[in-house]
Amino acid sequence: MLDAALRRVIERPLAAAARPLARAGVAANAVTLAGFLLGLGAAVAIGFGLPLLGLALFLGNRLADGLDGAVARQRGPSDYGGYLDIVLDFIVYNALVVGFGLADPAARPAALVLLLAFVGTGSSFLAYAIIAAKRGHETRARGAKAFYYLGGLAEGTETIVFFTACCLVPQHFALLAWIFAGLCALTTLGRVMAARRDFGGT
């Protein structure tokens, strides 16, 4: 919901930060992989009961996620880079949920439901992108992307806010997870309805 607005704010700072990396010959995929390792480290830290360390690593992961696209735009984007970026993002998001579930057994039911909700948001997002590409649909509302980005209530910005809150008050993870799972469910429903509207159906 907030990604398009945030993109307008951070696009120039990210481009400036990415410029020296691009000039030094750093590949966008290398930035993506470095961010992925930070994200996995965040999940491990959370699982071992170190949520503040997990938050620091997660924010580093999110910074890398912004930088890799900025580097790619300066060095030349690739379809594989866009593919790698979204796949590793989804793995990190789910790994963080697993980390919270491991850290607090009482929160595992909420973590499991949230993982299911993430399946809905991820599959509805990617399936829409596949059909949109087949039909030649394009959008730049969230910047130049490797494939069509369909919005919703729970997008990247909301996910960052959610995990940040969970790391700051991990004792309330279960409650936050139930709330965010509901937002994800509404996002999935909205995307299914958008697909029916845009692609036709009965």
| Domain count along the chain | 1
Residue type, 169: V
**pTM of the prediction?**
0.86
| Token pair for 130 | 């596949």
Alpha-carbon distance of 8 to 26, in angstroms, equals 25
- The mean per-residue pLDDT over the stretch 31-57 comes to 98
Compute φ and ψ for 48, nearest 5 degrees.
-90, 15
Per the model's pLDDT, the better-predicted residue between 3 and 187 turns out to be: 187
CA distances (Å), origin 43, targets 6, 83, 188, 190: 25, 22, 25, 29
151 half-sphere exposure, CB direction, 13 A CA radius:
15
pLDDT at residue 142 in the model:
45
Range of the domain at 21: 3-199
State the amino acid at position 165 in one-letter form: A
Which CATH number is 28's domain given?
1.20.120.1760
86-100, 144-158, 184-198: lowest mean pLDDT where? 144-158
pLDDT value at residue 201: 63
pLDDT band at 122 (very low <50, low <70, confident <90, very high): very high
Asked if 35 and 21 count as a contact pair (C-beta separation under 8 A), the reply is no
CB-CB contact of 104 with 170 (8 Å): yes
Name the H helices within the chain. 3-23, 28-47, 51-75, 79-103, 108-135, 156-168, 173-199
How far does Cα 9 stand from its chain's mean position? 18
pLDDT at 6 over 70: no
Q: Are 160 and 62 within 8 A, CB to CB?
A: yes
d(CA 171, CA 202): 45
Which of 22-31, 38-47, 146-155, 158-167 has the weakest average pLDDT?
146-155
Poorest-pLDDT segment among 75-79, 101-105, 151-155: 151-155
